[in-house]
A and B are shown apart, each in its own frame.
Chain A
Amino acid sequence: MPTKQTFAEVFQSRGLSRRDFLKFCSLTSVSLGLAPSLVPKVVHAMETKPRTPVIWLHGLECTCCTESFIRSSHPIVGDMVMNMISLDYDDTLSAAAGHQLEEVRKKIMKEYNGQYILAVEGNVPTKDDGVYCMVGGDSFLNVLKETAAGAAAVIAWGACASFGCVQNADPNPTGAQPIDKIIKDKPIVKVPGCPPIAEVMTGVITHVHTFGKLPELDRMGRPKAFYSTRIHDKCYRRAFYDAGMFVRGFDEESTRKGWCLYKMGCKGPTTYNSCSKIQWNEGTSFPIGSGHPCIGCSEPGFWDKGPFYTRLADVSFLGTDTTADKIGMVAVGAAAAGAAAHAAVTAVKKKQHDKEQEQ
């Protein structure tokens, strides 16, 4: 398949109408938060610019990002995007395999040196020279470094590549590290979530393609368009939160009524993502919509902040699992006991002192 195809040509070759194509462009622009006046620019870029070459690497991961990606809300988008990826290099989705595929990667790296986008799914075990993740006969650590060298920019897909995720959970036996700990000299966009929402993923790729650079990032290196507000800020149960109407147990009437899940451990108030806005599976629902508290899957460290069903994590303190409030109460209790003991000694000493004076 020719590599210099434009997105519009991919659409055509799939037998999709121009109407579908325009629909995709405007939808994506909206989700990126672009002004309507910029839609023609997106359309233009999609029609005329040669497809941005993408190399998609898989490290230590579960492939949920890919699973999410190929389920973009509109089948045309999934189809288009999948085509785009399999044209280049994706060791999970490509038809080719083995040496043949590795050749393709080498070829793209040479032909498009300094131009291709490196998309990374999963993270990098660094212990023992990276033997805990081997790809095509080499450690993923080496493959990643090698491929990143000629990349224009790096996209870190999902919680793994962005922040570490479960592979990186304490005590992290393989020394798994997120991408930005390995690659320091390239612009990186983090697209966290376990997995990220499909529309967010296609949105990021479209932005890079249209404008030739990464979207505007927030302080944590995530695209502002999708990660500037919390689940809680746009949650449809927010009225129940403000009213103080909380679910207190999953077997209660309040669960059926759809009250706020704050007391069930909902991490919505500390989680930056678009679930409550874009939702999942073609906008069908999202975890809170199905009655489950948000577990904060797009936040750094969520994997070590258990249990999911309490608001504050257990912390290990002197070898036991405890909570912040228990530590606090023990400290305050100790202060009170200490004061009482000190008072008692003071009284005894004073008695002694008075006695001595009398004698």
Chain B
Amino acid sequence: MGRLIEEIYVWRLPVRLYHWINAFSIVALVVTGLYIASPVINPPLGEAVWQHNFVMWRYVHYCVAFVFTGNFLYRMYYALLSDDRYAKFGGFRPWSPAWWGKPFREQVESYLFLRQDEPNYVGHNPVAALAHFIFIFCGSTFMILTGMAMYAENRPGSFMDAAFGWVLPLFGSSYNLHYAHHIAAWIFPFYVIVHLYAVFRHDIVDRTSVTSSIITGYKHKVEDEAAA
């Protein structure tokens, strides 16, 4: 193991808090959501009026959904209005051809074993930024819009209906809306597997202690043994 030569404070507390609230909400939402879709637990004994077995799953899904939404908006606010350069996604410019140029290509090549060295980034690497954008930014926005629209269905004429009711006709029918929310839920388990693998692998290959960085906030650079 090389000597520890540098310590950089990358993820400030708001980002770390966001990350863990987000991670726990997503796990809870996927589990309760899939349970809502196919309730498997055996029915309770006794009179229906005294039981709330199924309605509790929905209740938890909605409570967590609002935490998740608030947390997401908070992260957007922090990205836009803070001066935290590692949180701003400032370098993320997928509309400019330059962004898809060298750094992105190098990172992809490295993932595809086409090059020996591993590019190193203090903040997000460009491939990670793209993945966060597609799965987390677009994915969360989609789940929030469809989720809120379904939530609004419970109360026609309410504030929620006025705010999100317009989403339903875009999908053609209530059923399609539920279906879209359901199938899109699967992107999250998919993302988590890829995300965790990428994090652990980077940690092992680059030894920048990226895994613990999302808890402590610090990334470390170690001296390369071969070069030492």
Residues of A within 8 A of B182 (CB): 312, 324
Flag if A245 contacts B183 (CB, 8 Å).
Answer: no
Flag if B173 contacts A339 (CB, 8 Å).
Answer: no
Flag if A302 contacts B175 (CB, 8 Å).
Answer: yes
Flag if B165 contacts A311 (CB, 8 Å).
Answer: no
Flag if B52 contacts A327 (CB, 8 Å).
Answer: no
Contacting residue for A259 out of B43, B154, B175, CB 8 A: B43
Whether a CB of chain B sits under 8 angstroms from the CB of A357 is yes
Whether a CB of chain A sits under 8 angstroms from the CB of B169 is yes
Flag if A270 contacts B189 (CB, 8 Å).
Answer: no
Flag if A299 contacts B226 (CB, 8 Å).
Answer: no
Whether a CB of chain B sits under 8 angstroms from the CB of A219 is yes
Contacting residue for B53 out of A244, A270, A301, A350, CB 8 A: A244
Interface size class of A (residues with CB under 8 A): 35 or more
Flag if B185 contacts A300 (CB, 8 Å).
Answer: no
Whether a CB of chain A sits under 8 angstroms from the CB of B49 is yes
8 A Cβ contacts from B38-58 to A: 38-39, 41, 43-44, 48-55
Whether a CB of chain B sits under 8 angstroms from the CB of A183 is no
Flag if B172 contacts A301 (CB, 8 Å).
Answer: yes
Residues of B within 8 A of A346 (CB): 113, 201, 205
Give, as a whole number of angstroms, the nearest-CB distance from B46 to chain A: 9
Q: Given the interface contacts A328-B186, A342-B201, A343-B197, does A241 sit within 8 Å of B54 by beta carbon?
A: yes
Residues of B within 8 A of A219 (CB): 165-166, 168-169
Q: Given the interface contacts A220-B169, A327-B186, A335-B190, does A270 sit within 8 Å of B197 by beta carbon?
A: no
Flag if B52 contacts A339 (CB, 8 Å).
Answer: no
Whether a CB of chain A sits under 8 angstroms from the CB of B141 is no
Q: Secondary structure of the A side of the interface? A: helix
Query: Interface residues, chain A, CB within 8 Å of chain B?
Result: 219-220, 228-230, 233, 239-246, 254, 259, 262-263, 267, 269-272, 296, 299-302, 305, 311-313, 324-325, 327-329, 331-332, 335-336, 338-339, 342-343, 345-346, 349-350, 353, 357
Return 6 A-B CB contacts under 8 Å, by A number.
A230-B153, A242-B52, A270-B173, A296-B175, A328-B185, A343-B197
- Please report the C-alpha to C-alpha distance between residue A228 and residue B155 in the assembled complex, in whole angstroms: 9
Chain A residue at smallest Cβ distance from B226? A357
Chain B residue at smallest Cβ distance from A334? B190
Whether a CB of chain A sits under 8 angstroms from the CB of B157 is yes
Flag if A345 contacts B183 (CB, 8 Å).
Answer: no
- Most chain A CB atoms below 10 A, which of B48, B113, B185, B194: B48
Residues of A within 8 A of B197 (CB): 339, 342-343
- Please report the C-alpha to C-alpha distance between residue A305 and residue B123 in the assembled complex, in whole angstroms: 46
Residues of A within 8 A of B193 (CB): 332, 335-336, 339
Whether a CB of chain A sits under 8 angstroms from the CB of B116 is yes
- Please report the C-alpha to C-alpha distance between residue A168 and residue B40 in the assembled complex, in whole angstroms: 35
Whether a CB of chain A sits under 8 angstroms from the CB of B178 is yes
- Please report the C-alpha to C-alpha distance between residue A335 and residue B131 in the assembled complex, in whole angstroms: 14
Flag if A271 contacts B113 (CB, 8 Å).
Answer: no
Chain A residue at smallest Cβ distance from B157? A228
Whether a CB of chain A sits under 8 angstroms from the CB of B120 is no
Residues of B within 8 A of A262 (CB): 39
Chain A residue at smallest Cβ distance from B177? A270
Residues of A within 8 A of B194 (CB): 335, 338-339
Give, as a whole number of angstroms, the nearest-CB distance from B184 to chain A: 9
Flag if A350 contacts B205 (CB, 8 Å).
Answer: yes
Q: How many chain B residues touch the partner (CB < 8 A)?
A: 46
- List the 3 closest A-B pairs by CB distance, nearest first: A328-B186, A244-B53, A244-B54
Flag if A349 contacts B48 (CB, 8 Å).
Answer: no
Residues of A within 8 A of B201 (CB): 342-343, 346
- Please report the C-alpha to C-alpha distance between residue A342 and residue B169 in the assembled complex, in whole angstroms: 42
Flag if A245 contacts B205 (CB, 8 Å).
Answer: no
Residues of A within 8 A of B165 (CB): 219
Q: Given the interface contacts A219-B168, A327-B186, does A246 sit within 8 Å of B38 by beta carbon?
A: no
Produce 1/0 per residue, B108-132, CB < 8 A to A: 0001010010000000000000000
- Please report the C-alpha to C-alpha distance between residue A28 and residue B157 in the assembled complex, in whole angstroms: 23
Chain A residue at smallest Cβ distance from B168? A219
Residues of A within 8 A of B44 (CB): 243-245
Q: Given the interface contacts A243-B44, A244-B53, A312-B37, does A324 sit within 8 Å of B175 by beta carbon?
A: no
- Please report the C-alpha to C-alpha distance between residue A12 and residue B51 in the assembled complex, in whole angstroms: 54
Whether a CB of chain A sits under 8 angstroms from the CB of B176 is yes
Whether a CB of chain A sits under 8 angstroms from the CB of B94 is no
- Please report the C-alpha to C-alpha distance between residue A342 and residue B44 in the assembled complex, in whole angstroms: 46
Whether a CB of chain A sits under 8 angstroms from the CB of B66 is no
Q: What 20 additional pairs, Cβ within 8 angstroms, besides A270-B177, A346-B201? A: A219-B165, A239-B49, A244-B39, A244-B43, A244-B44, A244-B53, A244-B55, A270-B173, A299-B173, A300-B173, A324-B182, A324-B183, A328-B185, A328-B190, A331-B186, A331-B190, A332-B190, A335-B190, A338-B194, A346-B113
Flag if B174 contacts A328 (CB, 8 Å).
Answer: no
- Please report the C-alpha to C-alpha distance between residue A65 and residue B29 in the assembled complex, in whole angstroms: 42
Whether a CB of chain A sits under 8 angstroms from the CB of B2 is no
- Please report the C-alpha to C-alpha distance between residue A311 and residue B50 in the assembled complex, in whole angstroms: 26
Give, as a whole number of angstroms, the nearest-CB distance from B91 to chain A: 25
Residues of B within 8 A of A269 (CB): 178
- Please report the C-alpha to C-alpha distance between residue A142 and residue B195 in the assembled complex, in whole angstroms: 59
Contacting residue for B48 out of A240, A329, A331, CB 8 A: A240
